[in-house]
Structure 1
Amino acid sequence: MSSDPQEILDALDPDQREVAMALTGPVCVLAGAGTGKTRAITHRIAYGVRTGMYVPTSVLAVTFTARAAGEMRVRLRDLGVQGVQARTFHAAALKQLGYFWPKVVGGPPPQIVEYKARIVAQAATRLGLEADRVTVRDLASEVEWSKVSMVSAADYEKAATAIGRPAPAGFDHKTIARLLDSYEEVKELGGVIDFEDVLLLLGGILQDRTDVARQVRDQYRRFVVDEYQDVSPLQQFVLDQWLGDRRELCVVGDPSQTIYSFTGATPHHLLSFGQRYRDATTIRLIRDYRSTPQIVTMANRLLTTASDKHRFPVLDLQSQRESGAEVSCVVFADDAREAAGISERIARVIAQGVAPRDIAVLYRTNSQSQAFEEALAAVGVSFQVRGGERFFSRKDVRSALLMLKGAARSAPDDVSPAQAIEDVLRTAGWSSTAPQARGAARERWEALNAVWELTQSLGEQGLGLTEIVGELDERARHQHAPTVDSVTLASLHAAKGLEWSHVYLAGLSEGLMPISLAQTPEAVAEERRLLYVGITRAQHQLTLSYSQSRSGTGRTARQVSRFLAPLWTGPRDTSQKPQRGVSDQRVPRPRRGEMHGELFVELRSWRSQWAAQHDVEDHMVVPTTVLRALATQRPATWEAFVSTRGVGQERAVAWGEEAFDIIRKYGPS
């Protein structure tokens, strides 16, 4: 590769070039979706190295996902840059904590628990709190929020009340504060820490030990932070300790893609960057290279029609692609027909030559995936659910990697890397042609084929067998998976940072988009941004859809999302949603505090039908004790319904609308 720095700049557009040349001082890059932000910041690092301004090992680039960090490393390597650390916040902090812990504390660091559920359940039991699996999950999310927000148990009640944050799972703020204390006690007794503790402990060590802080700051002198709109107070605290009093920081983000505030992420640090660094260089990337003008126009209009658009600066994207197909807007009679209709469309475009890996179905909640899994299987289309089993955790992939490591040690010199890899993968069960069978056999082949394609790509870059195996091992450590040739099913949150040629956005009705749990203006605004993220994942073809009713109900009650009502170009359901709380028959009302027998019977009957439709036991839908509580309390508002002990957010999303309709029919207690 040529050493001429100008070659780095020649590959960029004017705005990206401005980013690459801003090598010193605080820099804030406001980068819209599809504008090439990763290209800009990796070329900035490469330009700094090529001009001699940067020592590669002095640069730490941090982002939020292992995939994004892996993409950075690949691009930097392609640009001839070695030695730059590109990691997630947690990976960078964990490496430093593991290095300094023996010196500062002594001995190895505590074991990290991957999942909080077991410890949360123990903490709840110590307090005598009833908590089933769903409740434990809601409580674990609240524990995580408090820690990334740096809100202690002592401050939790005051902090949560101040921002109007409801306590989860029907508990009050005081009880949650007690749970936070109990959670920390259980961890301490077990001698374990969680992922948030990695950041807390490292930040504390750097804050308290000037010798350790000096060593880290001598190593890392320049920082790049991607997706800065999603930085939490805890991550900002660690970043501040890394920086000290220095100013060599480049942050990149888009306020319009702030979608993780429920986890403690906040755009405050991005939006106030210019106030913190008065002389900061601010650069806007608005040239969209991902999506057609039709898709970009839809995305821009979605944001500009928001009444709260003054809250965040909006980047008006400008598509750089040729004109394409109009955005398609489709209405289906019910959820099952929506899943079937989209699956049939997908089968047709695959038959026309579109690769399955270039297609995605996106939805608001994970519970929506099942219908699409069944419908795609029915038309013979393979799929992968993003957020399911990790690629490198698959047994067949692990076995193939072990065999490749063995081949790297023992392959004869006269065997080419490509031949050695092919021999290993054929032994593992791969073939050059896909099997006709669907199901597990096809999934296994697709996983091994993804390994094959990745190794071929690395071989074409001139890497030898040992280097290819080393790259695979590095990707496995960081969960930087290759692309499998299957249709992707993903929630809108899981789709962040990805892109596909054809995108189907499903379930875009009121109650799902925005989700009914979004009760505040801030929450509704974030739902709009979540939809914006979904729209901007599409490159060539975007299909928006919703169904008029839940499958099996026979009701036409749903309306198109309020966000899309002014933008919808296709037919829509114009029927009026039945008014809740109205009953055609007079129902005898029990006295306050007594269980309404008829309501309980109807709720129990509804539960049995729901369980049968989803092939689960009745008690797995909702315990009978919760049905009794609902029949006794008869919550009059959605907030009260969700807050009922044993309901919680996850259950409310899955079946809350149906149960709440039944309760409202009987009137409040």
Structure 2
Amino acid sequence: MEKLSEKQILAVKSIEKPTLVVAVPGAGKTRVIVEKFIYLYSSGFDPSRMAAITFTNKAANEMKDRIQRATDGSINLQYISTIHSFALSIMMRNQKYFGGKSGITILDEDDSLVLIKNLISSNDRFNKLINEVKLISLIIQKAKEDFDLPVLLQAYRNAHHVFLDNSSLDDEIKQLNISIARHKIFFEKPLYLEFFKYYQQYLNLNNLMDFADLVLYPTLTMLYDNFARTVIQSSLQYILVDEYQDVDRMQNKFITLISNGTNITCVGDEDQSIYSFRGGTPENILNFENNFEDPVVLYLDDNYRSARSIIQVSNLMIKENYQRRNKAAVAVRNEKGVVDFIQTYTNSEQADFIVSMIKSLISKNGYSFKDFAILARASWLLHEIEEKLKINNIPYNPLRGTGFYQRIEVKYPLYYLGYCLNPENEFLLKKIINFPARGIGEVTFQEIISKKSSENSSLWEALTNSNNNRVKAFVDIIVKLKNAKALVEFFTMLYDIVFKSKWETQIERTSENDYDEEQYIEPEELERKTNYLTLLELCKQADEKYSKPFEQFYLTIISYVEQPHFNDAVSIGTLHSAKGLEFPVVFLPFLCEELIPYTWRGKKADIEEERRLLYVGMTRAKDQLYLLYPESLNGIILEKTQFLDFLEERIFCGGQNLQTKTRKDKINIGDFVEIKGYGKGIVKEKRRLQNGKFLYAINIEGDMIEVIQDYYEIKKIEKNEKKIIKKNLIEKESIERISLDKEFKDKDPVDKDFVENNLINNDSMEKNQGKAILTDDMLKTFSQGNLENDNIKKILNIGEKKKKK
């Protein structure tokens, strides 16, 4: 422990009382956990009776490796694992306290979904639920994760050995029945609860457990069997819990029950709680003092990772959250580092900036490709950046499969396209013949391949001659797809006949049930349809661009899907995928409203969790952090995220010496400009139109001239001309100035009402801006060159303003 700080040593040696270690990003928490395990071992604790619970198998394996290297390598580390593996081990080693269960079959999420569907379809009582399979799965999952005891006791009354063997619990269950009314989803739709009971009974009778049951079953056992709890507690000497903020309520109940109230240390950071869709909650850390008696709370607030400016900015942002402890990260490094706010006109310019910056920093600062990370809120935002990287020969690796082209809803449709182009491709046929699952297994596939060989036929002939009804249905799908005349038609048809029923029944139909399932669906699943729509947009562009769109699009795109893994490459992925990682240089693109905080189905995600997610992204950076926000995405107007608005206000008003960069030719209110044919003046108002263009109101010698970006030649004035223009404007003060609102004062009521009813409200514009006054339909007419529309004439004053002689 010689190289540990005083704070870290204190955390390591705190073993007499339940201990919470709150560790900011870059505080070395993993090292503290490893050192504490070694310290306990050297103090006489039995490693076979010590548990270290991690969030992932990878983290568990890394921790085991570090402990083995620091000791003689022969100690028993059986309980260093994920919480699910740990709970299963506890049950297997104490079978007699868990109803004598052995030979349990564990169902993963897909297995559970299939079982739920089969149980519904095979029981007339539940047939009406057949289109709500995913919703029911989510409700069951949520009830378990939230440790919803009134519901759980109903569901497990005939599905758990403790209740089956203890009739005295019936009164408690009857009392809890009353509180079911508080649970809207079960109270309004009691059939859901009835199915939950049926599902759990089936699992129990067939010696099955779903993933949540691995923790829930022993939790209920310890809660209602004091003797079993005492035996299990006495079998463990110490418990360490990593990433405590990611533990759901059920898992937290398991942890509190299995510890004896003193032999536990939990390590985490409520500011990094970003997995609410899995049940994770900052409450674990915030309520630690209420869950454990006489606890010790320690803070590891020294950040060894990031430069000062990065810590400064991330601290400023996260302190706006209310659900947090009063703490702030402290920079250990002396380097100032770089934090840049980068504004671009378009998403394409944003991608160009990132590429240019990577090249520049490699050339000038000696960085390698692996030193860079590009992290976005959603994977569908990354596809253009991926393309720009590839065009510029910059190698990149998607983080944990979260690149746009690695998503199943993108790559599998492309496999369908590839097979339709080449129906003799055995590799692609194997990829798609049972995706999505349609009951065509390996045996059936091998029969097709054998038939091809024995009959000396083509693969397509062997496929079309199959007598298997499911194979025939698959062939019908391929035939329909092969008849598509354009890429957009192909992928639209593919979605409608193949994927829509699989994806929309699982996600979109749930919106009919007034149930906020998006709160705990994986972000990648929520993005599925958006990713597919992005793919359709790429198809539309290819249909217009290529002479042979099917072949050329496939050959272009498949290289992104099947790209190799590089040893030295830029990392690219979602903010969630970057948890626990660090990079010298981090780019965070698309920091815009509706993207972060994320909006799905018109609902904004939890603001505090979204702020925590951005905080996690920012604190991945060691040396340089680039916060990027384009003004438009494929022609759609974007607003800078409220998180950055707050940051920039605090930083620049507070006199902080941080950098910001925007386009030098960007025109803002107060700029002195020259309009070709009109003269020179000052920009008084600026408003964004719905087509992305800006409408400027410019004071030229007392007259207010309205011009639209790109339809007029506007350029900024050199500094030495500004004084002359300003002087002329002051001399003209006696001249009546025509404001945009007053422009319509003398118009007839019909025209005034027309204008007022077609105002475009845009709160994202600079302060003191009024309302822009062009509708999309008018702009469309205007952009097509038709200036004869009377309303356009009146609003734009075409022909009414005199050109400056």
TM-score, structure 1 normalization:
0.63
CA distance in 1, matches of 2:370, 2:231: 45
Change (3 A) 1:74 1:128: same
Q: Select which of 98, 114, 129 maps to 1:118.
A: 114
Q: Is the 8 A contact 2:240 2:265 kept in 1?
A: yes
Letter in 2 for 1:88: T
Change (3 A) 1:359 1:566: same
- Aligned twin of 1:523: 606
- Aligned twin of 1:291: 306
**In the TM superposition, what is the alpha-carbon distance from 1:34 to its structure 2 partner?**
0.8
Q: Is the 8 A contact 2:599 2:605 kept in 1?
A: no
SS state at 1:494 partner: helix
Q: Select which of 375, 378, 384 maps to 2:397.
A: 384
Q: Identity across aligned pairs (percent)?
A: 25
- Is residue 2:233 matched to residue 1:242? no
- Aligned twin of 1:320: 332
Question: How far does the alpha carbon of each residue in 1:9-57 deviate from its partner, in whole angstroms, 9 at most, with x for none?
Answer: x21111111112212221111111111111222222222322x242322
RMSD (CA atoms)? 4.0
CA distance in 2, matches of 1:162, 1:548: 45
Letter in 1 for 2:68: R
- Give unmatched runs, 5+ long, in structure 1: 1-7, 396-437, 447-483, 581-660, 663-669
SS state at 2:633 partner: coil
Change (3 A) 1:292 1:371: same
CA distance in 2, matches of 1:218, 1:242: 9
SS state at 2:21 partner: strand
**In the TM superposition, what is the alpha-carbon distance from 1:296 to its structure 2 partner?**
0.3
- Give unmatched runs, 5+ long, in structure 2: 156-175, 407-426, 428-558, 649-659, 669-685, 692-775, 778-805
Question: How far does the alpha carbon of each residue in 1:341-379 deviate from its partner, in whole angstroms, 9 at most, with x for none?
Answer: 324433444556433333221111233233333332222
SS state at 2:607 partner: helix
Question: How far does the alpha carbon of each residue in 1:248-289 deviate from its partner, in whole angstroms, 9 at most, with x for none?
Answer: 111112121122223222222321222343422221111100
CA distance in 2, matches of 1:261, 1:545: 26
SS state at 1:247 partner: coil
CA distance in 1, matches of 2:189, 2:609: 24
Letter in 2 for 1:329: F
Change (3 A) 1:189 1:66: same
Change (3 A) 1:380 1:522: closer
Change (3 A) 1:287 1:161: farther
Question: How far does the alpha carbon of each residue in 1:455-490 deviate from its partner, in whole angstroms, 9 at most, with x for none?
Answer: xxxxxxxxxxxxxxxxxxxxxxxxxxxxx5432222
**In the TM superposition, what is the alpha-carbon distance from 1:329 to its structure 2 partner?**
1.5
Q: Is the 8 A contact 1:127 1:179 kept in 2?
A: no
Q: Is the 8 A contact 2:23 2:299 kept in 1?
A: yes
**In the TM superposition, what is the alpha-carbon distance from 1:202 to its structure 2 partner?**
2.5
- Aligned twin of 1:60: 51
**In the TM superposition, what is the alpha-carbon distance from 1:505 to its structure 2 partner?**
0.9
- Aligned twin of 2:728: none
CA distance in 1, matches of 2:182, 2:602: 16
Q: Is the 8 A contact 1:558 1:577 kept in 2?
A: no
Q: How many residues align?
A: 477
CA distance in 2, matches of 1:216, 1:337: 60
Letter in 1 for 2:577: A
**In the TM superposition, what is the alpha-carbon distance from 1:187 to its structure 2 partner?**
5.2
Question: How far does the alpha carbon of each residue in 1:92-114 deviate from its partner, in whole angstroms, 9 at most, with x for none?
Answer: 11223344448843441123224
Q: Select which of 125, 145, 150 maps to 2:147.
A: 150
Question: How far does the alpha carbon of each residue in 1:285-315 deviate from its partner, in whole angstroms, 9 at most, with x for none?
Answer: 11100100010001111023x2x43x32132
**In the TM superposition, what is the alpha-carbon distance from 1:528 to its structure 2 partner?**
0.9
- Aligned twin of 1:72: 63
SS state at 1:565 partner: helix
- Aligned twin of 1:559: 639
Change (3 A) 1:535 1:249: same
Map 1:225-624 → 2, pairs under 5 A:
225-243=241-259, 245-304=260-319, 306=320, 308-309=321-322, 311-350=323-362, 353-388=366-401, 443=564, 446=566, 485-517=568-600, 523-551=606-634, 554-555=635-636, 557-568=637-648, 569-571=660-662
**Structure exhibiting the larger radius of gyration computed from Cα positions:** 2
Letter in 2 for 1:549: S
CA distance in 1, matches of 2:116, 2:26: 40
CA distance in 2, matches of 1:262, 1:350: 38
Q: Is the 8 A contact 1:361 1:504 kept in 2?
A: yes
CA distance in 1, matches of 2:288, 2:88: 27
- Aligned twin of 2:76: 83
Q: Select which of 20, 28, 37 maps to 2:29.
A: 37
Q: Is the 8 A contact 1:503 1:537 kept in 2?
A: yes
- Aligned twin of 2:742: none
Q: Is the 8 A contact 1:157 1:174 kept in 2?
A: no
Change (3 A) 1:298 1:505: same
CA distance in 1, matches of 2:588, 2:267: 27
Change (3 A) 1:289 1:389: closer
SS state at 1:145 partner: helix
Change (3 A) 1:314 1:93: same
- Is residue 2:247 matched to residue 1:196? no
Letter in 1 for 2:578: A
Letter in 1 for 2:243: E
CA distance in 1, matches of 2:4, 2:89: 33
Change (3 A) 1:177 1:208: closer
Change (3 A) 1:363 1:110: same
Q: Select which of 33, 36, 39 maps to 1:47.
A: 39
- Aligned twin of 1:637: none
Change (3 A) 1:577 1:492: farther
TM-score, structure 2 normalization:
0.53
**In the TM superposition, what is the alpha-carbon distance from 1:542 to its structure 2 partner?**
0.9
CA distance in 1, matches of 2:57, 2:38: 21
Q: Select which of 10, 21, 33 maps to 2:13.
A: 21
CA distance in 2, matches of 1:69, 1:441: 30
Question: How far does the alpha carbon of each residue in 1:236-259 deviate from its partner, in whole angstroms, 9 at most, with x for none?
Answer: 22213322x441111112121122
Question: How far does the alpha carbon of each residue in 1:147-206 deviate from its partner, in whole angstroms, 9 at most, with x for none?
Answer: 21123376999999979x9x79xx987676566456546756876422101111232344
Change (3 A) 1:564 1:128: same
- Aligned twin of 1:128: 128
CA distance in 2, matches of 1:360, 1:267: 27
SS state at 1:29 partner: strand
Q: Is the 8 A contact 2:222 2:229 kept in 1?
A: yes
CA distance in 2, matches of 1:93, 1:254: 24
